[in-house]
Amino acid sequence: MEFTCRRCNHITKRKLYRVITEEAGVVLLNMVVCSSCARLAKRLGLSTVQLETEKRGAKTKDRLLANRRQTVRPRPSVI
C-alpha cells in the first residue's frame, strides 16, 4: 500500500507514524507522516507513534480472538 506523507508529500511504502501534539487537552497537531518526518518530529520533542500495517493489525486481531476462544478449564479436584 502506498502512502503520501502529510508533511513532505513523499510517496512511501515503509512504516508510518502518527505525530500528535496537545496543549491543555486540545489536540493541536495530528498527522500521519513518513519515517524521516517522524525522526524530525522526535528531534523537535513531539510525540510520535508507529502505526501498524493492515497485515500486522489483522494478525494481532486474529491472535486476540484465538486467545478468547480458548476456555479456561478448572483443575480436576482430588478427593
**Residue 75: inside a domain, yes or no?**
no
Per the structure, how many domains does the chain have? Answer: 1
For residues 41 and 48, is the Cβ–Cβ distance under 8 A? yes
C-alpha cell at 12: 512511501
**Residue 18: inside a domain, yes or no?**
yes
pLDDT tens digit string along 31-46?
999 999 999 999 999 9
**Residue 31: inside a domain, yes or no?**
yes
pLDDT at 71 (0 to 100)? 54
Question: Domain range holding 13?
Answer: 3-69
Under the phi-then-psi rule, with left for phi > 0, alpha for psi from -120 to 50, and beta for the rest, what region is 45? left
Give the global pTM.
0.62
**Residue 13: inside a domain, yes or no?**
yes
pLDDT at 49 (0 to 100)? 92
**Residue 23: inside a domain, yes or no?**
yes
